[in-house]
Structure 1
Amino acid sequence: MIKKLVLLSVVILSIFFLYVRNSDTYQLKIWSIIPSNSLMVFEVKDPLSGWEKFSNELNENEFEHLKKIVNRELKDFNKFLNNKLDVLSNDNELIISLSKTSNKNFDLLFSTYKNKLDFNFVIEKLRDSLSFEVSSRIFNSHKIYEFLDGENLFSAVILGDVISVSKNSLLIEDAIRTSNNKDLQFRYVNNQLFNQVMVKNDLGNIFINFLELSKSFQDHKHLFNNLPDKTFLDFKQKENIFYLSGFSSNSKKNLNDSILIDDDMVKVIPKNSIYFTNSVLSHKINKDVIEYGRFSFKSSYSNLNHEIIVFDIVKNDFFELSINDFKDDKIVEIQNKIISEVLDSLKYKNEKIFIYKGKKYYYISSNYNSMTEFEEIYSSNNFWRKDLKFSRFLTNINKDQNTTILINFSELSKNYSFLGNSILKEIDLISIQLSSVNNKFYTTINFNTNSNSIEIENDNNLTFKARNKLISKPYVYFSHVDNSPQVITQDENNIIYHLDKELNKVWEDSIDSKIISKPIIIDYYNNRKKQILFATKNKIYCYDRLGNILPGFPIKNPSKSGQIDDINIIDYDKSKRYRISLSSGNKAFLIDKYGKLLEGWNPLIMEDLLVEAPKHFRVGGKDYILLSLENGDIFLKNRKGSNYSGFPIKVENKLYEKIFVDLGQNIRNTSLVALDELGKTYVIGINGRISKENQMFRRSKNSKFKLLTDPLERNYVKLSVDNDVIYLREKTINFKNNNGFTYQFYSLGGGKSFLAITDPKEKLSYFLDMNLEPKFKNILNEKEVSFINSKNISYIYTTFNKTLSVIEIKN
């Protein structure tokens, strides 16, 4: 009998437990499914009307991508809900939480009360439609629905009265786990944040987890050291400035709550700064409170960033620096124990300490080049406050705060690929400020859009604006009339432009596709007048200087099974009876200037892809035609296509770089220079013998090797390029390289050679001499540059969007 009573009690208790559990789940509050490790949480009442209010208050050109994307997502979500989005939104609230789901991925979880929405009815409608594939699975006793719409996968779950949707099913699983464990719930863990006074009729509330967020910004983690772990913020918008303000939770960090910082320090940060922080720290030995500034700015001579620490001269007299330390030179290298300890506490590397003394502040860096470039900025007063948009932004931030952080977000985001989406690219400047109030920190975050960014053009002498975006470099040649520079370029609609020395348009014409070769200057009629020859993937064109296409042109691609990859011109004995060589995959062709295929080359079929079109040179009264293949085979052939003695030869690794012909006065002094993909150089004689081999330094398996030839093909250099270093003739420079970069070499004679490196994403070109020291300042530019030097003046031809420009630099 006792056993039966015990068993009955267990059954009743089990039923009661299940009832309570199911009852709790049914009455689940929306905040009970938001994970505590969320990086950001955005809460908004009546989301549809809130979005309408927000978007209507924005100017037409502000956050264009945001408006476009949200409106598209709302349309898709409405379709997903079978046009019931208004039913779901009215008198409801929406919580959007951002979580990190992998090293480089962040995903959103959308949660709301299901309201009057009949979710089962929606699912049945979706099953009946052809738009979605509907499936389900069980996770922790809850049914997860998955909806596939082409490439888009939505996952959803209903927990009590709450519906959660995400494009990442891991977040749906996380929401289920969170609903069953208070210790995982954002509101329960951060209860102090919810005790703040929340403003009504604003755009919503934002909760930011700076502690978790900092883990994704390893290179700038020191910025977060000045911030509380977490904060709650109201969200408002006025004109194109967005205001977030509220109180932060208690933090374990020793934040500045003692003194108000010097607002003047912001006035001396460079125009091209990435961030600026202004706060205080306590010196661990003598307990002095030290105010400091810290900023990073982009170099004008490379693609590196410089970081500088700033201290007030008067307030920090305990540094024990003497005015005599700065007698001979404004920049001095010192050894100072106190300064070294302070820099250590700021997590600032200081193997060496260089100081520049300004009127009011000491500027400190561990890099001498950083100091010299800052001194140049300081002397020319090229400060950020002089930028109109930044100056306007400063008027909207608070004065006399305990901590201020200013971020040039459009620049900072370039360091982190996960910030590269189109919405975040619309953010320009961010300010974060802390003010100590009753043992808490009142946090203010402002940001603006870059929709109205003021475009600053280079100080150009001449410009030309094309109809459409330019897609080719400016090709420069010299007129046969007056020897003045002329320019050929092309836009994205395949319009060719010929410009005169003043960049006035001489003519334009529409062709079939993009130019794939550099324009070659020929004298087609042998009358000392120049014509321009170039190729697209389908045709070969030739124009005179007035824009008339020559008879017989365009010549169609002779290859029946591939496109034209490259062309070269051959003039055997300077008779102007030109031959045109071209490559198409593994086929080599020679045609005369009328387009007729030549015997032995119609086509010459090779075993692998050609690196370039057949190249001609003449030495010792003989004509040589050079062919190189990606598999490492190198051929020297005669006019008929037969191999010379000793050829072909094969190098050890694959070939991707064009071979340099080191042309001498005779066969003995002439050689071929080849560089294979693993950095091995081969000097090859005309007799087919390798006279010299040399292995370039290979820092890693990712090292890339380049053989760069100057435009006149009289000289060359070899580069080794890693992700973050360039090697040239035993010289190195830290330089962040990318696969899309282009590298050019210009040899001016007399040792005046230099490299031009163009980053099309950043739209900048960098110029380095042969010691890898800066030659010119960085120039706004997208494609490869062209360069001429005349009477000690350099002229650099650049492109940016629709504009072609000439920049004049006095040497």
Structure 2
Amino acid sequence: MYFRLISEIQTILFLKTKTLLVTLLFLVMASGLSYVYFFKKDKGVEIQRLIPANSLGLITVNNVSEAIKDYSSYPWWDEANSLPFISRLTEANGKIDSLVKSGVLQSKINENPVYVSFHLTSNNSIDPLFFIGSDGFEWLPTNIKKLANLWFNKDLFFESRVFNEKLIYEANVQESTWGFISLGSYLVISTNSVLLEDVIRAEEDESSRLMKSELKMDENQKGVSLLLNTDRVGRLRNVFTGNNESSPNQLKGLINIKIEPSSAGLTFNGISLLNQEINQDLPSNALINVENFIPSSASFVRWFGIDESQNASLSGFDISLFQTLQNSEICEVNIVLGANTMSQVLLSEVSDVSKISKMLEEISKASRAEGDTLFTESFINNEIRFVNEEQFLVKTYGDRYQKSGKPYYAFFNNVMLISDNIDALKTVLVDYDAENTWGRIPEKRRYLDNLVREANITQLNNFEFYLDPLVNSFNPKWKAFFKDHIQLFSSFDNFNFQINEASSRLIVSAELTFNESVKRPLVRDSNRNSDPINPKIGLNLVTNAYGNGKLTTKPFVVKNHNNNAQEIIFQDELNQLYLVDRTGNILWKKELEGKINGAIEQIDFYANRKLQYLMFTDSAVYLIDRNGDDVEGFPMAFATELPITQYSVVDYDNSKNYRYATTDRRGNVYLLSKEGEMLEGWSPKVMGSALRGVPEHIRIRGRDCFVIVEANGNIHLLNRKGEEYPGFPYKTDKQISGDYFIQQGPSFNESYIKVLSEDGELLSLDFNGSVKGRNQLVKPSVSSRFIAVRDKLNTGLLTVRKDSNQFTVFDEKGQRKFGYDFKGQGDWAFEYYNFRNDSELYVAQNLTTGDLVILDDQGREKFSQEAFSINPIGILYYQNKREYELFVNFDNQMAIYTFTK
């Protein structure tokens, strides 16, 4: 359908951004073959007579030398030039200039127009054809052969073959069959010489040409442009993904797109050619709306109009009225959940909430299974409901949603949210409640305001969140290519695409922007490059602050609710609590009656968007506001058999009616109210052994669950009353090591608890208590010890095997990633940070000696130092700067360092 085509057009435009730079290299290299030529009469063959009909698109470079000069003047060029083929491009262009100056080359061929046509040649390959024009002369094969020998610095063996009475010359170069033909004033070159046969067919027969006689190219167009063949792009996605899905085109024709560089990135402006029939099935115009509901973490967003469906029917449901009540305009938001899986949420402004709500309630009642109650879940003071109809989304919104499942829906003011993933829908509501949306963040709002406000299609890609799922959707060949050059692609910021219909022509506009890592290189203060305590650690010191005694907690990064700025809170051995801003200024300090146990969390106690700091000591619950004052009623004293060691904050329905799930070192679990009072049934819930992590809350289809994993191998799944669900407790009969991980699904059967035993068995257990998988890792020696490490961003679970002087990292499937040699005895802690876009970090820290090592995804050292700190560290990553921040407490100092990716 059309939306799939739009996605494919977006894909090819994105790839052309990269391909443009790649192909310019070949253009100049090919141009360099014309060291010598003989002047003859120009036969005047028009370029449009040579471009085969099966071309994906045609790039025109009016002047290669000027294009390089223009593009290289922008700050992102250095990033692009880091790619080997781009650096060779500039080198080749410089070589041609030097040959002209020395007199070996008598004409600046790199200042003539050059054309590149792209063709699908296999299931996963795209090959180019190069057309290099002359300036009043004809290319002679004898001289081209000599020039090829000079260029490749070796004697090539050329063979000729005849195709339709035309000679094609071929030579084996760098594991490919390189070929060329001379057709009038054009030299045509390809690394896949079979494509040259298509050129010969095009010259002889108009039906084999991309551009028919009634269509004309703009030969006076300057710079770089792309002629996009919409008839062929439907196959492009399969080349990159390896799928064989058919995708019928809804467009027919050619679109000429002008490409312009700027300091921000690249812009694309295009229009379909005159005198051609374009069969278009565009949706109606749609405004850019509901910005306040689009999460900042949305991977991409589409705005489009829906037209009344005259033929669609669904169990007596009036689809046409349903669409009309939404003003026939939809915003589709895609959110990455889990392992790079994108889920869709549809947003629409509704003209009559009560009427459309009644329609959905009626179909919900009619579609529910016999004996089932009507599903309703309260969330942020809203009701989420369910339609038990598999075909609902595809019937009401079109074939794009053919694979979508049964939807959930909710209303917020006059906006309807609908999705087949309840957690994606909740994500939109949570970010709206937190004002963390494109409409509420000034920089993102300004970006939206610069778009055309109304178009048939508007699409926005947010590469911070879109790049990972895009790359992971590719087949191994293209995935490897993107991974090899991830530094360039991770510098992409946003890509927007808009298409309009005007007077039977299509108008296309698009923009690719780069993030701050290439637009404004980070300028560092030379006075900040040294640390008076650790002058040789190899990190850049950003700021530091000092306590009155030795610091005893990690630095906790918190948010200033007044301006959303980051601040840091920590405690020293004198039990003094400090709040520090990013410049190192101490905002306040406050003495507590004991040492903090566990983390420091922020909650919105009064549900007024103002945040307080929650923490536990041996004998009290503290809640402190951002001015350093105790919240009324706190500290709350409580008596337990043993001190609380860790806790988690639970908010069942995001209504700010908090619960605190706590545990002591013996494994007793207490559930406290928002005010800090113990709740019935949890005072305590006796487990029997220490826990492998804090009790965790999860909600699945309105059912609240607490996951509790004991070190002795018992796994519990409790409801809000502290009662076990059927199938639990589950006894593994093995000691559990390290962290555990919860993979949430849409049902109990599709949700999993993953644990690792000390002897290396990975176990996956669903929420019905059934084992779904076992994987025994190899244990090379009796002393080998396995430790499960959960990603700090909660995306997965890795395994670390610790041997005498080495640790080895395994992925979630138990496949070895890398090993690392280390020394020193003591209590080693391991952490894993799965930042997006190949920015993972692995941390090993000796909590006895303070030794610290930070590794990248290949096991290469980013930083290491002995006796660094015995306190746990924290790390943040900023993609727009391509920079990590390390937060650490040692002695009486809190410090923030940076290091680059």
Q: Report the TM-score range of the alignment, normalised by the length of the smaller protein.
A: 0.5 to 0.7
SS, match of residue 306 in structure 2:
strand
Q: Secondary structure at the match of 1:124?
A: helix
Match of 2:47 among 7, 15, 30: 30
Return the offset for 1:309: 1.7
Indicate the residue corresponding to 1:70 in structure 2.
89
Give yes or no for the alignment of 1:298 onto 2:336: yes
In the TM superposition, residue 320 of structure 1 has moved relative to its aligned partner by 4.9
Counterpart in the other structure of 1:452: 518
Distance 1:738 1:132 in 2: 48
Q: CA deviation at 1:227?
A: 7.0
Q: Report whether the alignment pairs 1:342 with 2:390.
A: no
Residue 226 of structure 2 aligns with which residue?
A: 206
User: What amino acid is aligned across from residue 306 of structure 2 in structure 1?
Assistant: L
Determine the structure 2 residue equivalent to 1:252: 279
1:123 aligned counterpart, secondary structure: helix
- Aligned partner of 1:275 in structure 2 is 300
Q: 1:209-608 alignment to 2 at 5 Å? A: 209-217=229-237, 230-248=254-272, 250-256=277-283, 258=284, 260-285=285-310, 290-299=328-337, 302-314=339-351, 319-321=356-358, 328=378, 329-335=382-388, 341-385=395-439, 390-409=444-463, 411-412=466-467, 413-414=470-471, 415-416=473-474, 418=478, 420=482, 422=485, 427-450=492-515, 452=518
Q: Contact 2:96 / 2:110 at 8 angstroms: preserved in 1?
A: no
Task: Calculate percent identity across the aligned residue pairs.
Answer: 14
Shift of 1:205: 2.8
Alignment CA distance shift 1:213-1:389 (3 Å):
farther
Residues 39 and 303 of structure 1: CA distance in aligned 2, closer, same or farther (over 3 Å): same
Q: Does the C-alpha gap of structure 1 residues 434 and 245 become closer, same or farther in structure 2, counting only changes over 3 Å? A: same
For 2:104 and 2:198, the matched residues in 1 are separated by 26
User: C-alpha distance in 1, partners of 2:172/2:394?
Assistant: 58
CA distance in 1, matches of 2:248, 2:812: 25
Contact conserved, 2:62 with 2:222, CA < 8 A, in 1?
A: no
In structure 2, what residue type is equivalent to 1:70?
L
2:852 aligned with 1:805: no
Structure 1 residue 48 and structure 2 residue 65: aligned?
yes
Equivalent position of 1:105 in the other structure: 125
Partner of 2:143: 121
Q: Distance in 2 between matches of 1:215 and 1:231?
A: 17
The CA deviation at 1:240 is 2.3
SS in 1 for 2:401: coil
Distance in 2 (alpha carbons) for counterparts of 1:754 and 1:38: 52
148-157 or 31-40: which moved more?
A: 148-157
CA RMSD in angstroms comes to 5.7
Map of 2:188 onto structure 1: 164
Alpha-carbon contact 2:392-2:406 (below 8 Å) kept: no
For residues 717 and 151 of structure 1, do their structure 2 counterparts lie closer, same or farther at Cα, with a shift above 3 Å needed? same
Offset of 1:376 from its aligned partner?
A: 2.0
Match of 1:157, SS state, is: strand
Distance 1:119 1:105 in 2: 28
Alpha-carbon contact 2:75-2:519 (below 8 Å) kept:
no
Shift of 1:163: 0.6
Farther off after superposition, 243-252 or 755-764: 755-764
Checking the alignment, whether the CA contact within 8 Å between 1:29 and 1:162 is kept in structure 2 is no
**Shift of the alpha carbon at 1:85?**
7.0
Q: Partners in 1 of 2:251 and 2:888 — Cα distance?
A: 44
Q: TM-score, normalised by structure 1?
A: 0.52
Change (3 A) 1:156 1:404: same
Residue by residue over 1:582-609, the C-alpha shift from the partner in whole angstroms, topping out at 9 and shown as x without a partner, is xxxxxxxxxxxxxxxxxxxxxxxxxxxx
Counterpart contact for 1:389–1:453, Cα < 8 Å: no
**Matching of residue 138 in structure 1 with residue 170 in structure 2:** no
Letter in 1 for 2:302: T
- The 1:238–1:386 alpha-carbon spacing in structure 2 relative to 1, beyond 3 Å, is farther
Shift of 1:375: 2.4
Which string of whole-angstrom CA distances, capped at 9 and with x for unpartnered residues, describes residues 283-318 of structure 1? 32365562212121223x654322212222227887
Going from structure 1 to structure 2, the CA distance change for 1:172 and 1:352 (only over 3 Å counts) comes to: same
Which residue number corresponds to residue 17 of structure 2? none
Using the TM superposition, give the Cα deviation of residue 331 of structure 1 relative to its aligned residue in structure 2, in angstroms: 2.2
Q: Secondary structure at the match of 1:283?
A: coil
Contact 2:758 2:787 (C-alpha < 8 Å) held by counterparts: no
2:796–2:812 Cα contact (<8 Å) kept:
yes
The change in CA–CA distance for 1:439 and 1:466 in structure 2 (over 3 A counts) is: farther
Q: C-alpha separation between the residues in 2 aligned to 1:39 and 1:704?
A: 46
SS of structure 1 residue aligned to 2:290: helix
Query: Within 2, Cα distance between the matches of 1:716 and 1:403?
Result: 49
Deviation at 1:662, TM superposition (A): 10
User: How much does 1:74 deviate?
Assistant: 3.6
Kept in 1, the 8 Å contact 2:234–2:248? The answer is yes
Q: Aligned in 2, Cα 1:32/1:100: closer, same or farther, shift over 3 Å?
A: same
CA contact (8 A) 2:287 2:453 kept: no
Amino acid of the residue matched to residue 367 of structure 1? N
Contact 2:131–2:187 (CA<8 Å) still a contact in 1?
A: yes
- Cα drift, residue 277 of structure 1: 1.1
Aligned to 1:180, which of 196, 204, 211?
204
CA distance in structure 2 between the aligned counterparts of 1:380 and 1:743, rounded to whole angstroms: 41
**Equivalences, count:** 529
Q: 1:352 corresponds to which letter in structure 2?
A: K
**Which protein shows a greater Rg?**
1
Q: Which residue of 2 aligns with 1:530?
A: none
Alpha-carbon distance, 1:124 to partner: 2.6
Q: Please say if residues 231 and 249 of structure 2, whose CA atoms lie closer than 8 Å, have aligned partners that are also in contact.
A: no
**Structure 2 unmatched runs, 5+:** 1-39, 311-318, 365-375, 523-530, 541-548, 556-569, 572-733, 738-756, 765-770, 800-810, 821-828, 844-853, 864-870, 890-901
- Give, in angstroms, the shift of residue 111 of structure 1: 0.6
Output the amino acid matched with 1:166: S
CA displacement, residues 492-517 of structure 1 (integer Å, 9 cap, x when unaligned): xxxxxxxxx99xxxxxxxxxxxxxxx
Q: Write the distance in 1 (CA, Å) between the matches of 2:385 and 2:798.
A: 29
**1:382, CA displacement in angstroms?**
1.7
Q: Which moved more, 1:81-90 or 1:327-336?
A: 81-90
